[in-house]
Amino acid sequence: MKLVTVKEMKEIELAANQSGMSNEEMMLSAGKGIADFLNEQFSETENKRIIGLIGKGNNGGDTLIALTSLLQSGWNATALTITSRKGESLAKEFIQEGGQLIEYSSGVLPVEIKEFLTSETLILDGLLGTGIHLPLKDEFKEYLKLVGHLLSQDQLVIAVDCPSGIDCDTGEKADEMIPADITLCLEAVKIGLMTESAFPLCGEIYTIPLNLPEAVNTQFNEKNVIDLDWASSHLPVRSEFSHKGTFGKVLVIGGSTNYFGAPMLAGTAAYRSGCGLVTLAVPHAVAVVMANRTPEVTWLNLDDEDGVIAESAADLVLKKANDYTCLAIGPGIGTEETTGHFLEKLLFQKTVNNKRKIGFLEGETPGEVPTDLPTIVIDADALRWLAEFGDWTSRVKADLILTPHPGEMAALTGISIKEIQQDRINIAAHFAEKWRHVVVLKGALTVIASPDGRKAVIPVASSALAKAGSGDILTGIISSFLAQGLERYEAACLGAWIHENAGLAAVGSVGSQASIMATDIIDCISEVIADLE
């Protein structure tokens, strides 16, 4: 699903006009598309009654077209207009098809409207569109208050483009707005709906295509809301004639005596997501304790100091790094000074003493020989170490995917958590471009940003994922898709979508968001991937 600002949507409509598609044709596509959606969703409903809340602008016109089409499909439809539209052709067509059009009189709702609103009737909210700014005018406040007070839990509210009373750029909401159970965004999701304030008020979000000219569609693909169709189309294809090497190898580097389980969670999630082989590079003390937990995992025992990765372990990792398709660094790695030195040597020096042949003799290479690193996913305390190193962007030569939560993003950028949360998409995009690495800004409505300007949002907000170990799982999933051959941005988007939806599936399985454990999320990865397949 495309994600746009209000201004960008106007530019899309203008481009469509210039390509020969009129506003009337777009309204017809919108209205017919809404009606088709409702006919499909409520095909089994016997008593098909719907009332449309009709405003003055194009959103009201889209809604009238939808109601007229529903009448033709056997629905009982009523329109409550906030201003007289009886002289308009759309209203005349609606009435000719048997629709009841009622004009709202200031401060008073007709008796028949009250009866509709208190019965099992669908509400199609087409009162206000994407161009509104708060505060609302008094007439709209009054209208929404009167309607809202009469609604009961028996009604389903379907919003056209956005719930009336939400600023579609900022997500700010009016006190009088009516929350939707379903929001049908026309052509693209408006960016303000992907905010903490607006998202919970939108219900399930779908897009209704306007059937724009193909030349217009290809111009506006920079921002997306990742949905099932996108995720399914990017899932790696698995040949029956393959072996474990076909699906890549992941090296997870982390662990310490305080965080034994973190690398194991990442590794298990990588396996569940389809990669062929996972190795955990952990301090020897961690490997001894965890070795019998998951027999599929292989191990790389690292030098340790008091149970954390020692600086000297960098030489071994650098020697082995190119045996793997990607590296995942950070789960449980800790903040001890020797581990910081290990990371600095691994990420920046990227050197190792290798043997080379001198004539017919094999000898030691004088000095240190550079070694290229595979793509790296960096998470947890490894991100905080980056913030400590200074000028890391010019020193790291490997391609990175950074997966910070807002606190880690604050440490990396020097921007407060509050500022980050207020402008998540733009901040993630800015630093992805500045750093030249992919950024996955975790949290409700996870944001993925690429250095080339592409941006995406995962439309999930659930406290089920607010548990220790959840971030380690995301690292493992993304690493798995890197290992299977996806590019950084695609791997991050697909990994984040599967992670978030595995959290939702875990709620369905366990029964309570509060009771979810990280292992419950891992157990549901296969269910989510099966749905995509």
Residue 49, strand partner residues: 76
Mean pLDDT of all residues in 232-237: 95
Burial 230-239 (b: 16+ CB within 10 A, else e): bbeebbbeee
Residue 423: CB atoms within 10 A of its CB come to 14
Cα–Cα separations (whole angstroms), residue 104 to 6, 114, 148, 244, 334: 28, 12, 14, 67, 64
Residue 438, strand partner residues: 401
Q: Which residues are within 8 A (CB) of 369 and not within 5 positions of it... i.e. 6 or more apart?
A: 351, 352, 353, 354, 356
Position 106 pLDDT exceeds 80:
no
CB contact at 8 A, 163 and 178 = yes
CB contact at 8 A, 23 and 31 = no
Mean pLDDT of all residues in 9-22: 92
Return the top range by mean pLDDT from 283-297, 354-368, 422-436.
422-436
Provide the residue type at 470 as one letter: S
Cα angle 420-423-428, degrees, rounded to a multiple of 5 = 70
Gap between the Cα atoms of 491 and 308, Å rounded: 30
Domain 233-355+363-532: CATH architecture, name and number where available: 3-Layer(aba) Sandwich (3.40)
What are φ and ψ of residue 82, in 5° steps? -85, -10
CA 490 to chain CA centroid, Å, is 12
Q: How confident is the model at residue 288 (pLDDT cuts 50, 70, 90)?
A: confident
Q: How confident is the model at residue 359 (pLDDT cuts 50, 70, 90)?
A: very low
Gap between the Cα atoms of 99 and 51, Å rounded: 10
Provide the residue type at 228 as one letter: L
Gap between the Cα atoms of 324 and 248, Å rounded: 7
* Helix (H), strand (E), coil (C) string for 167-193: CCCCCCECCCCCCCCEEEEECEEEHHH
The DSSP secondary structure of 377-404, one letter per residue, reads: EE-THHHHHHHHHSSHHHH--S-EEE--
Would you give the DSSP letter of residue 327? E
CB contact at 8 A, 320 and 373 = no
Position 370 pLDDT exceeds 60:
no
- Residue closest to 455 by CA, chosen among 425, 480, 484, 427: 425
- Residue closest to 465 by CA, chosen among 400, 524, 391, 388: 524
What is the predicted pLDDT for the residue at 371?
56
pLDDT in tens, 160-201: 999 999 999 999 999 999 999 999 999 999 999 999 999 999
Would you give the DSSP letter of residue 19? T
Q: Which of 213-217, 241-245, 362-366, 522-526 has the lowest mean pLDDT?
A: 362-366
Gap between the Cα atoms of 219 and 11, Å rounded: 10
Q: Which residues are within 8 A (CB) of 230 and not within 5 positions of it... i.e. 6 or more apart?
A: 1, 224, 493, 497
Gap between the Cα atoms of 386 and 378, Å rounded: 9
Cα angle 466-468-473, degrees, rounded to a multiple of 5 = 90
Provide the residue type at 527 as one letter: E
Q: Which of 35-39, 82-86, 303-307, 313-317 has the lowest mean pLDDT?
A: 82-86
- Residue closest to 346 by CA, chosen among 320, 384, 325, 365: 320
Would you give the DSSP letter of residue 165? T
Position 252 pLDDT exceeds 90:
yes
Position 207 pLDDT exceeds 60:
yes
Gap between the Cα atoms of 460 and 440, Å rounded: 14
pLDDT in tens, 442-453: 999 999 999 999
Domains in the chain: boundaries: 2-221, 233-355+363-532
Q: Which residues are within 8 A (CB) of 338 and not within 5 positions of it... i.e. 6 or more apart?
A: 305, 308, 309, 310, 311
| CATH homologous superfamily for the domain 2-221 | YjeF N-terminal domain (3.40.50.10260)
* Packing angle, helices 406-413 and 381-389, rounded to 10: 10
pLDDT in tens, 119-159: 768 999 999 999 898 999 998 999 899 888 888 777 899 99
Q: What element of type H or E holds 222?
A: none
Q: How confident is the model at residue 104 (pLDDT cuts 50, 70, 90)?
A: confident
CB contact at 8 A, 453 and 222 = yes
Residue 236 three-state SS: coil
